[in-house]
């Protein structure tokens, strides 16, 4: 037994029976269709008049008044104005028109201008129908009806009119040849109308999908652009906060020290003020470097590349000069050196140390701090880590905005690392940041 489920599924897929997409005409289509219908009407009316002018409507077998032929053309062409608004209704109407004209004036119905109009109606019904299921059902019924009508005409002997069955001019008898020819012509005619209209619908469907994909890509590109802008703003905010916070903290401590000893030890106060001056210059220099990066060029007086792990000793010397003793230790189990750490990772760790020490000076009663740098291999691969410890507690009335820790966590998230920040059980505060590093070998 032949399995019909497979070919039925193929037909459903080909004709997109289950597709709910609707083809929507573009704006102003009624005006364009009205112009097109008028042009078609004029051309077809002229075609029939040419047939009449050469005597096509005036011989023994055919007696068709000219006004009847022109009425048939008008009633078939003018409804095409709404072929895209009511595609299936127009297809059914023109099929009925074809049948009625074929019964009343068959010579008019078979003329080329009329066949063009009927073809246009069937084609438009398949191309513009809102529902694929309704289109296939309606056009299928029309095709079956038309072939049934054709079969009925053959049964009445329409295929033998004017033919001499006693003669054979080719391989096949005249009547059989005429019937076969008529069937093939109608198969091509109706098949081209149905398949051509459906392929037009499929092309429109594909264009709509491409347009939707283009809109989606445009929306995603806009979201990515906005995300990139937001990420860049956050990066700038972190950089500005870290640069300003560090140097302002140093200047605040030195200015306070200078105020206290100004009357007792002017020379020491002058040294503290000199440190304030140097910190202010460093802050301006780093901000100029940041602005140069943002503008894509070096600002006059910029400090060159952004700091990394190689600049940690200089940073700690600056903190020590501001009055906070800091111990420093570096453990390089990878044997690669701090300079081999990727610049983005090195900058993030440098800013972490800078922010942590600035917080100690501003908000802690700590008398000393320690910084440990580790380059090692862990369960997830190679990593670079900094750990900052102090021995103090939070100073009352000096709570910060939290932006420093927020920026620290954002940096860590950006690199897919780990961060710990909080009080220690034995006293003091601890900040530990671990960032993965790749492509570093000893």
Other C-beta atoms closer than 10 Å to the C-beta of 379 total 5
Q: Which residues lie below 8 Å from residue 234, measured CB to CB, with a gap of 6+? A: 407, 410
Lowest mean pLDDT among 3-17, 108-122, 134-148, 365-379: 3-17
Residue range 76-83: mean pLDDT, rounded: 91
Residue 220 has pLDDT above 80, yes or no: yes
Asked if residue 410 belongs to a domain, the reply is: yes
First to last CA, the chain: 73
Q: Which residue has the tokens 């011989």?
A: 59
Q: Of 221, 251, 284, at which residue does a domain stop?
A: 221
The residues that bridge with 388 in the sheet, in sequence order, are 371, 431
Q: What is the pLDDT of residue 237?
A: 67
Q: In terms of residue numbers, what domain contains 87?
A: 16-221
Residue range 319-341: mean pLDDT, rounded: 87
Other C-beta atoms closer than 10 Å to the C-beta of 211 total 10
Q: Burial-class residue 328 by CB neighbours within 10 Å (0-12, 13-18, 19+).
A: middle
Q: Of 200, 221, 242, at which residue does a domain stop?
A: 221
Given pLDDT bands bounded at 50, 70 and 90, which one contains residue 18?
confident
Asked if residue 402 belongs to a domain, the reply is: yes
Lowest mean pLDDT among 8-17, 192-201, 220-229, 289-298: 289-298
In a shared domain, residues 29 and 138: yes
Hey, is 372 helix, strand or coil? strand
Hey, is 56 helix, strand or coil? coil
In a shared domain, residues 62 and 192: yes
Output 58 or 100, whichever has higher pLDDT.
100
Q: What is the pLDDT of residue 384?
A: 92
**Helix residue ranges per DSSP H, 87-173:** 87-104, 106-109, 112-128, 132-155
Contact call for residues 161 and 133 (beta carbons, < 8 A): no
Q: Which residues lie below 8 Å from residue 7, measured CB to CB, with a gap of 6+? A: none
Asked if residue 67 belongs to a domain, the reply is: yes
Per residue in 389-423, pLDDT (tens digit) is 998 888 776 555 556 677 778 778 878 899 998 88
Cα 299 to Cα 286: distance, rounded to the nearest angstrom:
11
In a shared domain, residues 40 and 174: yes
Given pLDDT bands bounded at 50, 70 and 90, which one contains residue 328?
very high
Cα 305 to Cα 323: distance, rounded to the nearest angstrom:
28
Given pLDDT bands bounded at 50, 70 and 90, which one contains residue 88?
very high
Asked if residue 32 belongs to a domain, the reply is: yes
Q: Identify the CATH number of the domain in which residue 438 sits.
A: 3.30.565.10
Residue range 93-113: mean pLDDT, rounded: 89
Q: What are residue 83's phi and psi, to 5 degrees? A: -65, -30
Asked if residue 266 belongs to a domain, the reply is: no
Given pLDDT bands bounded at 50, 70 and 90, which one contains residue 302?
very low
Q: What is the pLDDT of residue 210?
A: 92
Q: Burial-class residue 118 by CB neighbours within 10 Å (0-12, 13-18, 19+).
A: buried
Give, to the nearest 10 degrees, the angle between helix 66-77 and helix 112-128.
Answer: 20
% residues pLDDT > 70 (the chain): 82
Q: What is the pLDDT of residue 434?
A: 94
Q: What is the pLDDT of residue 158?
A: 61
> What token pair was written down for 312?
């940690």
Asked if residue 291 belongs to a domain, the reply is: no
Hey, is 283 helix, strand or coil? helix
Asked if residue 241 belongs to a domain, the reply is: no
Per residue in 159-177, pLDDT (tens digit) is 556 556 667 777 777 778 8
Asked if residue 242 belongs to a domain, the reply is: no
In a shared domain, residues 209 and 328: no
In a shared domain, residues 49 and 160: yes
Q: In the predicted model, what is the mean pLDDT of the chain?
A: 82
Q: Which residues lie below 8 Å from residue 124, measured CB to CB, with a gap of 6+? A: 80, 83, 84, 87, 90, 91, 197
pTM over 0.75: no
Hey, is 324 helix, strand or coil? coil
Q: What is the pLDDT of residue 305?
A: 61
Per residue in 287-299, pLDDT (tens digit) is 766 666 565 544 4
Per residue in 258-274, pLDDT (tens digit) is 777 877 878 777 777 77
Q: Burial-class residue 149 by CB neighbours within 10 Å (0-12, 13-18, 19+).
A: middle
Q: Which residues lie below 8 Å from residue 87, measured CB to CB, with a gap of 6+? A: 124, 125, 126, 127, 128, 129, 130, 135
Q: Which residues lie below 8 Å from residue 164, measured CB to CB, with a gap of 6+? A: 174
Cα–Cα distances in angstroms (integers) from residue 85 to residues 130, 319, 412, in the given order:
9, 80, 60
% residues pLDDT > 90 (the chain): 30
Q: What is the pLDDT of residue 174?
A: 75
Cα–Cα distances in angstroms (integers) from residue 156 to residues 117, 161, 163, 360, 437, in the given order:
27, 10, 14, 108, 90
Given pLDDT bands bounded at 50, 70 and 90, which one contains residue 38?
very high
In a shared domain, residues 90 and 200: yes
Domain count within the chain: 2
Smallest CA-to-CA distance from 416 within 387, 396, 436 is with 436
In a shared domain, residues 215 and 311: no
Give, to the nearest 10 degrees, the angle between helix 174-261 and helix 266-295.
Answer: 170
Q: Of 189, 221, 253, at which residue does a domain stop?
A: 221
């Amino acid at each position: 037994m032949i399995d019909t489920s497979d070919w039925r599924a193929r037909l459903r897929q080909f004709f997109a029976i289950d597709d709910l997409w609707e083809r929507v005409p573009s704006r102003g289509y009624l005006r364009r269709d009205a112009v097109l219908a008028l042009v078609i009407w004029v051309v077809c009316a002229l075609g029939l008049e040419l047939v009449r002018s050469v005597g096509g409507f005036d011989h023994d077998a055919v007696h068709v008044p000219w006004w009847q032929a022109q009425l048939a053309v008008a009633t078939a062409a003018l409804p095409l104005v709404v072929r895209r608004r009511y595609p299936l209704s127009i297809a059914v109407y023109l099929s009925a028109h074809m049948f009625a004209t074929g019964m009343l004036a068959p010579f008019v119905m078979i003329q080329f201008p009329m066949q063009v109009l009927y073809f246009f109606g069937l084609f438009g019904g398949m191309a513009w129908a809102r529902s694929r299921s309704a289109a296939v059902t309606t056009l299928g019924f029309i095709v079956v009806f038309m072939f049934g009508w054709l079969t009925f005409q053959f049964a009445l002997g329409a295929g033998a009119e004017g033919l001499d069955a006693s003669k054979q001019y080719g391989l096949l008898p005249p009547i059989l040849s005429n019937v076969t020819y008529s069937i093939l012509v109608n198969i091509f005619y109706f098949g081209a109308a149905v398949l051509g209209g459906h392929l037009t619908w499929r092309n429109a469907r594909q264009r709509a999908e491409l347009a939707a994909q283009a809109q989606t890509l445009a929306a995603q590109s806009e979201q990515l652009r906005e995300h990139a802008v937001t990420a860049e703003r956050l990066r700038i905010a972190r950089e500005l906060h870290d640069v300003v916070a560090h140097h302002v903290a140093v200047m605040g401590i030195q200015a306070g020290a200078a105020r206290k000893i100004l009357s007792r030890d002017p020379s020491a106060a002058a040294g503290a003020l000199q440190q304030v001056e140097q910190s202010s210059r460093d802050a301006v220099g780093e901000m100029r470097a940041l602005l140069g990066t943002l503008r894509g060029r070096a600002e006059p007086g910029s400090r060159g590349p952004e700091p990394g792990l190689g600049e940690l000793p200089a940073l700690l010397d600056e903190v020590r000069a501001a009055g906070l003793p800091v111990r420093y230790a570096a453990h390089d189990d990878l044997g690669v050196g701090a300079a081999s750490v990727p610049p983005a990772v090195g900058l993030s760790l440098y800013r972490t140390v800078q922010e942590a020490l600035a917080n100690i000076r501003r908000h802690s009663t700590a008398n000393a701090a320690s910084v440990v740098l580790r380059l090692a291999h862990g369960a997830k691969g190679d990593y670079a880590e900094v750990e900052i410890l102090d021995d103090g507690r939070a100073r009352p009335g000096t709570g910060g905005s939290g932006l420093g820790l927020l920026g620290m966590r954002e940096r860590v998230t950006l690199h897919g690392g780990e961060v710990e920040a909080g009080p220690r059980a034995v006293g003091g505060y601890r900040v530990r940041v671990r960032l993965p590093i790749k492509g570093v070998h000893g």
